[in-house]
Amino acid sequence: MKKRLTILRILTVHCDEIIPLVSQACDEELTLMQRLAVRTHLWGCTSCRRFKKQIALLRESLQSLQESTEPVAVETATALSAEARERIRNHLKSSE
């Protein structure tokens, strides 16, 4: 938001100034005046409310995708039952 925010100007902020703030708010805390401008604008603008919901959904989807593609812990990936470990151990001993 390039122009300085005043109470009067908060009431007249356009969508093209709010959209970057909505995105910015996902990563960092906005100033009090920025938060006030966003909330006031979202109250009266369906398009920006929809944009905010889409950003939240996208962010949530990316986080769940990231969690599902994280490497599995070695203990989990190689976990064998006690019976399987015993069979392998016995097989290794018999082949020595």
- Where does this chain bind Zn ion (CB under 5 A)? 15, 45, 48
Nearest approach in angstroms of CB 36 to Zn ion is 15
The smaller minimum CB distance to Zn ion, of residues 25 and 45, is found at 45
Query: Residue 38's CB: how many other CB atoms inside 10 A?
Result: 23
Nearest approach in angstroms of CB 44 to Zn ion is 8
The smaller minimum CB distance to Zn ion, of residues 54 and 90, is found at 54
The smaller minimum CB distance to Zn ion, of residues 21 and 48, is found at 48
Largest CA distance in the chain: 86
Q: What token pair was written down for 10?
A: 């908060």
C-beta of residue 14 within 8 angstroms of C-beta of residue 48: no
Q: What token pair was written down for 3?
A: 């122009």
The smaller minimum CB distance to Zn ion, of residues 12 and 90, is found at 12
Nearest approach in angstroms of CB 8 to Zn ion is 18
Q: Using alpha carbons, list the distances in angstroms from residue 56 to 23, 27, 33.
A: 9, 12, 22
Nearest approach in angstroms of CB 32 to Zn ion is 20
